[in-house]
Amino acid sequence: MIRRNGARTSVTMAKAKPYYAEGGLSALYYDVVTAADARLRGDEAIYCGLAPASGSILELGAGTGRLTCELAARGHAVTGVDIAAAMLTQARARVAGLEPEVAMRITLRLGDMTALDLRRTFDLAICPYHTLAHIPAGAAWRNTFATAARHLPPGGLFAVHLPRLEVMRSLPAIDPSAMVMDRPLEDGRRLRLYVRDRSFRDGINRLEQVLDYVIVDPRGAELQRSSERLVYFMQDPVPFAESAGLALDRDPIGQGDDGDIWVFRKTS
């Protein structure tokens, strides 16, 4: 073990590259992995239900455009912002394959949701699929809620999908040799995932995991391996939202063990 910021950190953890980094496999195969996650199906309907018909949507952490494109296909003008160039490259490729009248409703931008000012408002702002949990639950959360508030009119909604603390805290012990996902790729290759390391730090409620992305040939021989560090933070989001003038609008929308979608309304 080595020490980082006063915390014990395993060598595996320290050597892993950050999730969604340029050249990493978590960005390249994000769509393969999320397509296999049945718990995510239907989240576009929840966000659509929060926006007026054809209303504009700001998506913080748009990633590969999984939701961006679905929401645009349902008639919304969507601006998707993401900090990871590797994710936006894939989003742009996805948009290029859409019907022109859907593609023209989408704007993609490289940017940091903790410090974004597009100098306009949207009918709805969203921060889907644990995006907020990727950044520390302190100033970065406060600034992200301020970003959402800055881009909403009075009464506008901000929806945030966050994991559940009790699930993060009680994940089972890992077996680094156990394959947790095995998906076919083009050309008969396969993507296999292994959880190599995991730690949970109470108080700051930080879950850190190292996932090994392994590409194998049709006979199972390893072609490529990438160790990538996935971090989640979780706290009660309500005080952070309130500091930006956003009040909880309803009970969180449960997504089972995949967390909850919290909906806030700009008060004035």
Ligand X SMILES: C[S@@+](CC[C@H](N)C(=O)[O-])C[C@H]1O[C@@H](n2cnc3c(N)ncnc32)[C@H](O)[C@@H]1O
Binding mask 28-57 for ligand X (x = CB under 6 A): ------x-----------------------
How many Å apart are CA 109 and CA 62, to the nearest integer?
A: 9
Radius of gyration, alpha carbons of the chain = 19
Tokens of 237: 């989001």
Contact 261, 43 (CB under 8 A): yes
Q: Are 34 and 67 in contact (CB under 8 A)?
A: no
Instruction: Determine if residue 41 is left, alpha or beta; phi over 0 gives left, psi from -120 to 50 gives alpha, anything else beta.
Output: beta
Distances in Å between the Cα of 87 and the Cα atoms of 94, 123, 246, 247 are 11, 25, 29, 31
- State yes or no: residue 129 binds ligand X (CB under 6 A): yes
- When asked if residue 130 is in the footprint of ligand X (CB under 6 A), the reply is yes
Measured from the CB atom, is 122 or 129 closer to ligand X? 129
* Cα–Cα dist 110/108, whole Å: 7
Binding string, residues 77-116; x marks residues near ligand X by CB under 6 A: ----xxxx--x------------------------xxx--
The size of the interface with ligand X (CB under 6 A), counted in residues, is 22
CA dist., res. 117 & res. 209, Å (int): 32
Cβ–Cβ under 8 Å, residues 210 and 13: yes
**Residue in the shown chain whose Cβ atom is closest to ligand X:** 63
Position 134 contacts ligand X (CB under 6 A): yes
* Residue 43 vs 197, nearer CB to ligand X: 43
Distance from C-alpha of 237 to C-alpha of 164, rounded to nearest angstrom: 12
Q: How far is the CB of 65 from ligand X (least distance, A)?
A: 8
Q: Is 125 in the site for ligand X (CB under 6 A)?
A: no
Residues 172-211 that bind ligand X (CB under 6 A): none
**156 touching ligand X, by CB under 6 A:** no
* CB of 1 vs ligand X, minimal distance in Å: 27
Q: Minimum CB separation from ligand X for residue 268, in Å?
A: 26
Query: Smaller CB distance to ligand X: residue 34 or 89?
Result: 34
Residues engaged in binding ligand X (CB under 6 A): 20, 34, 60-63, 66-67, 81-84, 87, 112-114, 128-131, 134-135
